[in-house]
Structure 1
Amino acid sequence: MSRSFIARNPSILWFLASLAVFTLVITVLSEGFGIGLIPTAFVKTLGKTLCLCLVAVAMDLIWGYTGILSLGHMAFFAVGGYMTGMWLMYARTEEIVVQALASGPIPATPEEVAQGVTTQIFGVVGGSDLPAIWSFAHSAWLQLPLVLIVPGLLALVFGWLAFRARVNGVYLSILTQAMTLALALYLFQNDSGLRGNNGLSGLQNLPGLGHVSQATTSILFFLASAMLLALGYVLAAFVISGKFGSALRGIRDDEQRLRFLGYPVEGYKLFIFTLTAMIAAIAGAFYYPQAGIINPAELAPIASIYLAVWVAIGGRGRLYGAVIGAAFVSLLSSWFTGGMAPSIPLGFYTIHWVDWWTVLLGLSFVAVTLFAPKGIGGLFDRLAHIATPARHGAALGPNDGALQEKEAQE
């Protein structure tokens, strides 16, 4: 009798229980719903960190389990944020315009309200007409589905072209980075329809909830982010289990052998590339309302490189490792770059961690790669006594996790 999905993946229960306890403790200690020991700013940082953990899970699916090093997934993350930000900015601006016009001698017409919203949003870039891409921004029911549709279509088209041409390895990584750079350069233009370098701002103000304090709003987003991370983690664990997950590992370990066995390798890769892009977009859709602003700088290729570093430090090929790596590096980055880390005077030079954080991060990545290739997650494996299978004979694939000669004969 086959065991249930949860029985085959006990780490899911441990992860969900840990996340639930963490969420409860933060909520009780917060200013919004609790006793006020944790400031609202830090609650927002934790909420954003949970969103980064979700996109790290997506990165681990595509890189750690399928072997595709994508350096463009933070582009999908940002696109999801833009889709949400368009609705938030339009709806909030509409509220402000309606209140301003209400003091007039006669009621404002819908056309006057729409023109006022357009002027408020695009006057800063010299625009007077609402761009076509904002056609659905007035309605949450029309705009929010684009969080999945737009990044999903972008990933589907890009992936179909790349995988159909059988672009692999470093060449695919360069292509994904080029896609990210091209998208960022386009959004920097004022005529892109997304306010160019100014980006979208005021996203922390939820329409219709102007009377709700930021302390309460931050907890609501924090709880939503925790729920999304839990759902995303379970979904990822389900994807990598069973025969489908074995096929993904087969692509990672020896793609040619899997293709010779008759598996539609390109189809598997296209599916996982599109799925992880949509997961990243959902994470971005909840991240940027907590950040309050989004601009094209968020699509810089370096952001996707950071994402790969998080997963590597946490331990790729382990979903919990991706979460640990993203949370650890993100919170440490906030501490170092937020001015909380004390400077170190050396007499001839003073180390300011705001300037040296990226160097420290790079050295950490090199150290983990050389001395702890299993990352932080490998330490948890040791504590849980999860042993690596004994490998004997010649390798039948390029990866350490590939089937070995003796195992194939058993």
Structure 2
Amino acid sequence: MIRSVLAHNSSVLLFLACLGVFTIGVTALSEIAGTGLISTSFIKTLGKTLCLCLIALAMDLVWGYTGILSLGHFAFFGLGGYMIGMWLMYERTHNIVTASLSNNVIPPTASEIEAAIGNQIFGVVGSSDFPIIWILSHSLALQLILVAAVPGLLALIFGWLAFRSRVTGVYLSILTQAMTLALALYLFQNDSGLRGNNGLSGLQNLPGLNSVPQATVSLWLFWASAFALGLGYLFASWIVSGKFGSVLRAIRDDEARVRFLGYPVESYKLIIFTVSAVIAGIAGALYYPQAGIINPAEITPIASIYLAVWVAIGGRGRLYGAVIGAASVSLVSTWFTGGQVPPISLGFYTINWVDWWQVVLGLSFVLVTLFAPKGIGGLLDLWTGHKRPNRHGKDLGPCSGALQEREAEI
């Protein structure tokens, strides 16, 4: 599989090499290596950025390659974060409770320990009982399975209902947005079982590693994020490099023709939608232990709209474009909103970039749409001299409308 991907897409090896050099460089400049040129907080920012690049890959698969503008992919991202957050919060609270109760003259029973854990976690919403959705929270292995299974199952059910009804275009985008909004509103409720507006907190404290400094934990999570992004990029490249990827691009360009040729369009769309949701869930599971907290505000529709903007700025239909777009916007956003950019005084008004950053982002999206529709990735194509196939305006094979084998490999 790897040899086939590298043969069909030479940019994969270059991307993996750049990612490896970047990871080694950050490690060498970290506090753990002794140099301390990169702070622990910035390493967390870089790790979170890599996770955002991974969900941008998932978004590019459904939008850039298949033409499905999903405005709800951050729902899958958030669900992945909630699944791993449940285990992190349960296990950390379990360790604290058992340590405090170990000094009792009479050892506590299992039910007393469970009640104390429930009171610690859910006391903030006026409860002490474990909801049914926490039944597997004691097991890391099972929660890791849920990280992929829950987003994937939601995408499978939603996609099956939407695609079998042949909902397309802006109507599908509205449906995905409505799904995200409904999930966020449900999670905001205190009786949702996930602590309502309070969300899950303290996720940066990995259970059993209390004696390990945060600098080390942050670097471990950074490595995990880089490894996941590398695997995700390789997997996404494998998907789009073969016949399956050619059918996805054909669906994007002319769905009706693909259906008339006998391909099960709905099945292809359902598969890629579900796979991308699983990738988004994995990205979320790596992101929130570095962020330290997750709450329903993280998965409101505006977050998914930002995701679409990242991919558009980077260049949809190009995996490296999605990564570049997500990384660029994330790091520039941190720079602007972190107070590192001095305000500009106009005399009658002072521009504070913390307040104006979203305007800059929106303006960038408009400018890219109007003047550089291929995004930053398109500019890289011009710089490297790489030409993408023009699938319109001429015969592409022995018969009108056929696809040349050379183009099928791109």
What is the TM-score when the length of structure 2 is the normalising length? Answer: 0.95
CA distance in 1, matches of 2:376, 2:10: 19
Aligned to 1:51: 51
Look up the equivalent residue of 2:264 and give its one-letter code. P
Cα pair 2:49 2:330 within 8 Å, conserved: yes
CA distance in 2, matches of 1:406, 1:122: 64
Aligned residue for 2:158? 158
- 8 Å CA contact 1:53, 1:322 repeated in 2: yes
Count, aligned residues: 397
Partner of 1:304: 304
For 2:115, the equivalent position in structure 1 comes to: 115
Q: Describe how 1:117-136 pairs up with structure 2 within 5 A.
A: 117-136=117-136
Question: What residue is the counterpart of 1:379 in the other structure?
Answer: 379
Aligned equivalent of 1:399: none
Letter in 1 for 2:122: F
- Residue-by-residue CA offset, 1:82-108 (whole Å, 9 max, x unaligned): 000000000000111011111211222
| 1:247 correspondence with 2:228 | no
Residue 269 of structure 2 is aligned to residue 280 of structure 1? no
What residue identity is the alignment partner of 2:147?
A: V
Alpha-carbon contact 2:5-2:237 (below 8 Å) kept: no
- Counterpart residue number, 1:192: 192
The whole-number CA distance in structure 2 between the counterparts of 1:211 and 1:97 is 18
Matched residues, percent identical? 70
- What amino acid is the match of 2:392? L
Match for residue 393 of structure 2 among 388, 399, 404: 404
Q: Report if aligned partners of 1:33, 1:219 keep a CA contact under 8 Å in 2.
A: no
Q: For structure 2, list consecutive stretches of 5 or more residues without a partner in the other structure.
A: 401-410
- SS in structure 2 at match of 1:407: coil
Give the Cα separation in 2 of the matches to 1:293 and 1:67.
33
Superposed displacement of residue 242, structure 1 = 1.4
Q: 1:290-345: per-residue Cα shift (whole Å, max 9, x none)?
A: 00000000011000000000000000000000000000000001111111111101
State whether residues 221 and 286 of structure 1, in contact with CA within 8 Å, keep that contact through their aligned partners in structure 2.
yes
- Whole-angstrom distance in 1 between the partners of 2:124 and 2:208: 25
In the alignment, which residue of structure 2 is the partner of 1:10? 10
Question: Within 2, Cα distance between the matches of 1:266 and 1:45?
Answer: 38
Decide whether the 8 Å contact of 2:77 with 2:282 is kept in 1: yes
Superposition RMSD on alpha carbons, in Å? 1.1
Aligned to 2:407: none
Instruction: Write out per-residue CA displacement over residues 151-195 of structure 1, whole angstroms, 9 at most, x where no aligned residue.
Output: 111000000000000000000000000000000000000000000
For residues 388 and 82 of structure 1, the distance between their equivalents in structure 2, rounded to whole angstroms, comes to 40
Residue of structure 2 equivalent to 1:398: none
1:217 alignment partner in structure 2? 217
Residues 290-369 of structure 1 mapped to structure 2, 5 A cutoff: 290-369=290-369
Alignment TM-score, normalising by the size of structure 1? 0.95
Give the Cα separation in 2 of the matches to 1:407 and 1:226. Answer: 39
Alignment check: 8 A CA contact 2:121 2:128 kept: no
The more displaced of 25-34 and 218-227 is 25-34
1:335 is matched by which residue type in structure 2?
Answer: W
- The aligned runs of 1:171-190 (5 Å cut-off) are 171-190=171-190
Secondary structure in 2 matching 1:4 = helix
Aligned residue for 2:403? none
Take 1:227 and 1:148, find their aligned partners in 2: how far apart are those partners?
A: 17
Q: Cα offset for 1:113?
A: 1.0
Separation in structure 1 between the aligned mates of residue 190 and residue 18 of structure 2, nearest angstrom: 45
Q: Is the 8 A contact 2:65 2:252 kept in 1?
A: yes
Amino acid at match of 1:53: C
Code of the aligned partner of 1:113: I
Amino acid in structure 1 at the alignment position of 2:289: P
SS in 2 for 1:21: helix
Which one-letter code corresponds to 1:405 in the other structure? K
- 2:341 is matched by which residue type in structure 1? A
What CA distance in whole angstroms lies between the structure 2 residues aligned with 1:163 and 1:346?
A: 52
Which consecutive aligned stretches of 4+ in structure 1 deviate over 3 angstroms post-superposition? 405-410
Aligned with 1:67: secondary structure? coil
- Where does residue 404 of structure 2 map in the other structure? none
Cα distance in 2 between the residues matched to 1:274 and 1:242: 19
User: What stretches of structure 1 of length at least 5 have no aligned partner?
Assistant: 392-401
